[in-house]
């Protein structure tokens, strides 16, 4: 990929002009004050060549803390922090912590493809660095069970045999994934509050509230100090399970001293607080009571608390509950098994056995709140669902907000549901969803409790990271103590210093298409884009082996270009152009196959462009006879 070449050329471009870590060179002096440049990246599309822009950051008032003692300390081995994913994007979170011969990993998620990644199913982080250093990797700890944190675990475990630590629901979800991939893993269940040792790292886990149960944040003791990673979180003072964040513990950790804070930036642009999950429960209750027909409600399957609230409200209204959609069924079963959901007896009914139950006594919980084309809700909206046909009198509730990029698919589904006569309620018109991520006031609380020396905003696009950095500054942090990294960059920490190096490790997106992992690169994507833009023209001819004269053809076959039957004149003319091109090439180049192909391609391209203004892919196929 293009970005690879760029990596090579910028490999030694570090804040202090040295490369501290990924390459052998050591900084000439303690250079914390030299961390002048800030990397700003325009949003990179996988199919474009990347654009980087180094923005000079105004130097903050100089705090010269550089002493000779520190300079010698600086020469000691630094802790390296290398994000492989999750920066300048919301997705595929994976962070490396490396000290001497020990590497531990935090999270291992995937992301969904961008629009121009035609045919790609999911996007993984690049594991190359980890495979190269396989003997160092001591383990992976997962903060919670969302796909952007666990989705790539099966792909990693196929390449590295390492222990995976996580809380019960998180590990349960991973276990389901591993089964689908037909592999086993060394999975270690922990409880929030447990301490685990991963290589020389001592990790304390602390419960946090988020839109999935069993989420934790991490306080990691390292030889250079404590690294605090929030994972994804919001501050919910009234969580559904009555287990809020242990603020006292966070304050103790902060008091003891935290070298680096890495914190969730998803909602850093939003002022105020994220509302409690409790609000959603109450809003849903009010809506349920007003419904007369069936209720069909879509939400994220992993939001076990939301599902519990939905079921509680259904029971209160005397409704039976049917579960629809594979991932919803899997997660609900797992959550029942682990005791995270409790459902009164005689509440659940099979989705195929709803006949005979009055509409006013039915509630269906389903997947598809993001308008995913294969999901149960989407199939209901197009009458392709086996057991549920949407009809007048149904109330359909989308208890979620579209993830950025999904707005259109969601509104398509909403429109279709309205067309079928359903009453559709979505978060634009009611309080039926709250975010799982902390807004500005909650972030301020965490910063104030943890009081880190250095700060690295994580889990966000550039605008989120930047806004989070400004928020930290507004709380009194020095801008030079705040580091906005890009995937593949490295932050080297010693007891006294922090240094940022750019492009130390390859962190290109790895595309998964069907069973292929990483075999679709920029060239394949470019062809897919060209094919999708103007289609394909195949020029077929049979050529005499000896004389190289045309025996039959040329024929024109096209796909996605024009409707041939209505454009026979154009196709006939194209045949003549191809024939002339072949004859011309034969006259001037004799028997050179490549010259013949090039000549046909070029003549055809210019003819098609002149007559249609389009640029389809042109593929000559000549057979010898």
Read off φ and ψ for residue 534, nearest 5 degrees. -140, 10
Rounded-to-integer distance, Cα 247 and Cα 592, Å:
77
Is there binding between residue 513 and Zn ion (CB under 5 A)?
no
Q: Give the binding range for Zn ion (CB under 5 A) out of 138-146, 403-411, 477-485, 566-574.
A: 138-146
- Name the token pair of 23: 């390459």
Nearer to Zn ion, 147 or 513 (CB): 147
Read off φ and ψ for residue 144, nearest 5 degrees. -170, 175
Residue in 126, 148, 264, 499 annotated catalytic: 264
Name the minimum Å distance from CB 124 to Zn ion: 15
H or E element in which residue 612 lies = helix 593-612
Name the minimum Å distance from CB 12 to Zn ion: 32
Name the minimum Å distance from CB 221 to Zn ion: 24
> How many distinct helices (H) and strands (E) make up the chain?
17, 27
Nearer to Zn ion, 141 or 414 (CB): 141
Q: Give the binding range for Zn ion (CB under 5 A) out of 62-70, 74-82, 146-154, 542-550.
A: 146-154
The full DSSP string for 329-374 is HHHHHHHHHHTS----TT-B--GGG-TTS-GGGEEEEES-TT--TT
Q: Which of 98, 147, 148, 442 binds Zn ion (CB under 5 A)?
A: 148
Name the minimum Å distance from CB 224 to Zn ion: 26
- Give the count of residues interacting with Zn ion (CB under 5 A): 3
Rounded-to-integer distance, Cα 625 and Cα 615, Å:
31
CA distances from 261 to 252, 284, 317, 406, 586 (A): 15, 36, 46, 31, 69
List b or e across 550-572, with b for residues whose CB sees 16 or more CB atoms inside 10 angstroms.
beebbebebeebbeeeebeebbe
Nearer to Zn ion, 41 or 146 (CB): 146
For residue 514, with 0-12 CB atoms within 10 Å meaning exposed, 13-18 middle and 19 or more buried, which class applies? exposed
The answer to whether residues 296 and 396 touch, using CB atoms and an 8 Å cutoff, is yes
Give the other-Cβ count within 10 Å of 356's Cβ: 5
CA-closest candidate to residue 600, choices 617, 577, 623, 616 = 577
Name the minimum Å distance from CB 303 to Zn ion: 10
Nearer to Zn ion, 232 or 481 (CB): 232
> Considering only residues 45-104, where is the footprint of Zn ion by CB under 5 A?
none
Rounded-to-integer distance, Cα 276 and Cα 284, Å:
13
Name the minimum Å distance from CB 149 to Zn ion: 6
Nearer to Zn ion, 245 or 541 (CB): 245
Nearer to Zn ion, 92 or 320 (CB): 92
CA distances from 223 to 83, 200, 559 (A): 19, 8, 61
Name the minimum Å distance from CB 144 to Zn ion: 6
- Name the token pair of 599: 């000549």
Rounded-to-integer distance, Cα 492 and Cα 349, Å:
55
Residue in 437, 459, 464, 586 annotated catalytic: 437
CA-closest candidate to residue 248, choices 276, 206, 203, 191 = 206
* Cis geometry, peptide bond prior to residue 81 (ω within 30 degrees of 0): no
Name the minimum Å distance from CB 533 to Zn ion: 33
Is there binding between residue 146 and Zn ion (CB under 5 A)?
yes
Nearer to Zn ion, 146 or 601 (CB): 146
437 is catalytic: yes
Nearer to Zn ion, 302 or 324 (CB): 302
Q: Give the binding range for Zn ion (CB under 5 A) out of 4-12, 142-150, 353-361, 563-571.
A: 142-150
End-to-end Cα spacing for the chain? 40
Q: Give the binding range for Zn ion (CB under 5 A) out of 17-25, 143-151, 273-281, 393-401.
A: 143-151
Name the minimum Å distance from CB 147 to Zn ion: 8
Is there binding between residue 168 and Zn ion (CB under 5 A)?
no
The answer to whether residues 362 and 318 touch, using CB atoms and an 8 Å cutoff, is no
The full DSSP string for 144-185 is ---HHHHTTHHHHHTT---EEEEEHHHHHHHHHHHHHHT---
Spell out, one character per residue from 223 to 262, where the chain touches Zn ion: x when CB under 5 A holds, - when not: ---------x------------------------------
Nearer to Zn ion, 106 or 556 (CB): 106
Footprint on this chain of Zn ion (rule: CB under 5 A): 146, 148, 232
Enzyme catalytic residues: 264, 437
């Amino acid at each position: 990929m293009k970005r690879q070449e760029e990596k090579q050329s910028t490999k030694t471009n570090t804040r202090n002009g040295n490369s501290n870590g990924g390459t052998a060179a050591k900084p000439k002096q303690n250079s914390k004050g030299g961390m002048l440049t800030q990397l700003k990246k325009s949003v990179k599309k996988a199919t474009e060549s990347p654009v980087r822009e180094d923005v000079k950051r105004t130097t903050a008032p100089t705090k010269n803390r550089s002493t000779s003692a520190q300079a010698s300390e600086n020469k000691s081995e630094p802790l390296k922090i290398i994000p492989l994913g999750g920066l300048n994007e919301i997705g595929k979170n994976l962070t490396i912590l490396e000290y001497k011969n020990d590497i531990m990993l935090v999270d291992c998620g995937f992301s969904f493809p961008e629009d121009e990644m035609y045919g790609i199913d999911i996007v993984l982080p690049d594991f190359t660095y980890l495979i190269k250093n396989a003997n160092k990797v001591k383990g992976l700890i997962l903060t919670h069970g969302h796909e952007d944190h666990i989705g790539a675990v099966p792909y990693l475990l196929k390449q590295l045999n390492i222990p995976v630590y996580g809380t019960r629901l998180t590990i349960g979800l991973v276990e389901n994934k591993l089964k689908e991939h037909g592999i086993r893993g060394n999975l270690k269940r922990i409880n929030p509050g447990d301490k685990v040792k991963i290589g020389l790292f001592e990790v304390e886990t602390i419960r946090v509230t988020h839109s999935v149960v069993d989420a934790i944040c991490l306080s990691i003791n390292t030889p250079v100090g404590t690294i605090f990673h929030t994972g994804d979180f919001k501050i919910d003072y009234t969580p559904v399970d009555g287990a809020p964040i242990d603020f006292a513990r966070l304050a103790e950790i902060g008091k003891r001293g935290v070298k680096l804070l890495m914190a969730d930036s998803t909602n850093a642009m939003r002022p105020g607080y994220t509302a409690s999950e409790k609000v959603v429960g109450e809003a849903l209750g009010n809506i349920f009571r007003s419904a007369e027909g069936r209720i069909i409600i879509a939400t994220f399957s992993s939001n076990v608390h939301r599902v519990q609230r939905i079921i509680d409200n259904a029971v209160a209204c005397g409704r039976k509950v049917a579960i629809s959609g594979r991932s919803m069924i899997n997660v609900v079963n797992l959550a029942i098994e682990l005791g995270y959901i409790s459902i009164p007896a005689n509440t659940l009914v099979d989705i195929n056995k709803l006949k005979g139950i009055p509409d006013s006594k039915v509630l269906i919980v389903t997947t598809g709140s993001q308008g995913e084309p294969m999901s149960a809700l989407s199939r209901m909206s197009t009458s392709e669902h086996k057991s549920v046909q949407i009809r007048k009198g149904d109330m359909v509730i989308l208890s979620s907000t579209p993830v950025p990029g999904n707005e259109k698919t969601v509104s398509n589904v909403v429109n279709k549901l309205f067309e079928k006569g359903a009453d559709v309620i979505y978060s634009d018109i009611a309080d039926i969803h709250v975010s799982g991520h902390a807004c500005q006031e909650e972030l301020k609380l965490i910063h104030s409790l943890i009081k880190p020396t250095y700060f690295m905003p994580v889990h966000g696009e550039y605008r989120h990271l930047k806004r989070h950095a400004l928020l930290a500054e507004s709380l009194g942090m020095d801008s030079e103590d705040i580091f906005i990294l890009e995937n593949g960059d490295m932050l080297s920490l010693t007891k006294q210093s922090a240094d940022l190096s750019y492009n130390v490790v390859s962190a290109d997106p790895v595309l998964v298409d069907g069973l292929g992992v990483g075999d679709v690169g920029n060239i394949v994507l470019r062809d897919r884009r060209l094919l999708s833009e103007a289609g394909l023209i195949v020029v077929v001819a049979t050529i005499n082996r000896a004389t190289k004269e045309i025996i039959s053809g040329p024929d024109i076959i096209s796909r996605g270009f024009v409707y041939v039957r209505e454009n026979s004149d154009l196709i006939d003319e194209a045949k003549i152009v191809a024939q002339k091109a072949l004859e011309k090439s034969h006259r001037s180049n004799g028997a050179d196959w490549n010259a013949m192909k090039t000549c046909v391609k070029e003549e055809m391209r210019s003819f098609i462009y002149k007559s249609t203004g389009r640029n389809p892919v042109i593929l000559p196929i000549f057979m010898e006879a």
